[in-house]
Chain A
Amino acid sequence: MSKFQAKLSDIARVIRTSKIWKSIFRHSYQDTPRNRALMVLSNVFLHLHPVKVRPASLRYRYTWGLGGLSFYLFLSLTLTGVLLMFYYRPTIEHAYWDMKDLRFVVPFGPFLRNMHRWSAHVMVLLVMFHMASVFYRSAYKPPREYNWVVGVILLLITFLLSFTGYLLPWDQLAIWAVTVGTNMAANSPILGSEGPFSIVTPDMDARFILLGSKIVGQSGLLRFYVLHCVFLPLIFIILVSVHLWRVRKDEFSAIPLPPEEERRKGVLPEEWVKKHPEALQEKVFTWPNLVSREFVALLAITAILVIWSVFGHAPLEELANPNKTPNPSKAPWYFVGLQELLVYFDPWMAGVVLPTLILVGLIAIPYLDINPTGVGYYNFKNRKFATGIFTYGLVLWFGLIFIGYYMRGPGWELYLPWEKWDHFRPTSQIGLHNMPNWLGLVFLLGYGALGMLIPKIFFKDFYKSLGPIKYLVVMFLVLVMFFVPVKIVLRNVLKIKYIVSFPDFNLNI
Chain B
Amino acid sequence: MKRSVWNRLFIASSFALGLMGAVLIWQEISPEWMRYQAEYYRRLATVTQDPAKARTPLKVLQIYLPEMHRTDRCITCHTGIDNSKMKDQPQPFRTHPDLGIPGFLAAHPFNEMGCTICHHGQGPAVTKRHAHGPVPHWEEPLLAKGLTVGTCTTCHQNISGLKGAERLVQAKALFEEKGCIGCHTLHGKGMLVGPELAETWGKSVDQFDFRYVQGEQTVANWVKDHFKNPQRVSPGYPALGIPESSMPNYEFSDEQIQLLTALVLSFSSEEEEQERPIPARFRVAAGPTPEPTYASSIDKGRAVFKKYGCAACHGIEGRGGIRNKNMEPGEEVPPLIYVAEGFTKEEIKTVIRTGRYPARADASGPTPPLWMPAWKDKISEEDIDALADYLLSLYPESRTARPVKTAQG
In B132-178, the 8 Å CB interface with A consists of: 137-139
A306 within 8 A of partner (CB): yes
- Interface flag for B248 (CB, 8 Å): no
A293 at the interface (CB under 8 A from B): yes
Of chain A, the residue at the smallest CB distance from B203 is A324
Q: Does B50 touch A at the CB level, under 8 Å?
A: no
> How many chain B residues touch A (Cβ–Cβ < 8 Å)?
35
Given the known A-B contacts A108-B28, A326-B206, are A292 and B71 also in contact in the complex, defined by CB atoms under 8 Å? no
CA distance A187 to B209 in the complex (A): 35
A394 within 8 Å of B by Cβ? no
> In residues 188-245 of chain B, which contact A (Cβ within 8 Å)?
204, 206-207, 209, 237, 239-240, 242
Q: Does B58 contact A (CB under 8 A)?
A: no
Query: Chain A interface (Cβ within 8 Å of chain B)?
Result: 60, 93, 97, 100-101, 103-105, 107-108, 111, 171-172, 292-293, 295-296, 299-300, 302-303, 306-307, 310, 315-319, 321, 324, 326-327, 423-424, 426
A300 to B5, CA, bound (A): 12
| 20 pairs, CB–CB < 8 Å, chain A vs chain B | A60-B1, A97-B124, A104-B124, A105-B126, A107-B28, A108-B24, A108-B28, A293-B6, A296-B9, A299-B10, A299-B14, A307-B20, A310-B23, A317-B137, A318-B138, A319-B275, A423-B209, A424-B209, A426-B237, A426-B240
Would you give the shortest CB distance from B180 to chain A, in whole angstroms? 24
B residues adjacent to A (C-beta < 8 A) = 1, 6, 9-10, 12-14, 16-17, 20, 23-24, 28, 60, 62, 69, 71, 73, 124-127, 130, 137-139, 204, 206-207, 209, 237, 239-240, 242, 275
Tell me whether B10 and A318 are in contact (CB under 8 A): no
Asked whether A307 lies within 8 Å of B1 as measured between CB atoms, the reply is no
- B176 vs chain A, min Cβ distance (A): 31
Chain A residues lying within 8 Å of B137, measured Cβ to Cβ, are 171-172, 315-318
Contacts of A295 in B (CB 8 A): 10
Q: How far is the CA of A118 from the CA of B237 in the complex (A)?
A: 41
In Å, the complex CA distance between A69 and B76 comes to 42
New contact pairs (12) apart from A104-B73, A310-B23, A318-B137, CB-CB < 8 Å: A104-B125, A104-B130, A105-B73, A105-B124, A296-B10, A299-B10, A302-B17, A303-B12, A307-B16, A310-B20, A424-B209, A426-B239
Contacts of B12 in A (CB 8 A): 300, 303
Whether A303 contacts B17 in the complex (CB less than 8 A), given A105-B60, A326-B206, comes out as yes
Top 8 nearest A-B pairs (CB, nearest first) are A100-B124, A303-B16, A303-B13, A299-B13, A317-B137, A300-B13, A296-B10, A306-B20
Query: Chain A nearest CB: distance from B37 CB in Å?
Result: 14
Contact: B204 with A306, CB < 8 Å? no
Residues of A within 8 A of B10 (CB): 295-296, 299
How many Å lie between the Cα of A306 and that of B60 in the bound state? 26
Residue numbers in B under 8 Å from A172 (CB-CB): 137
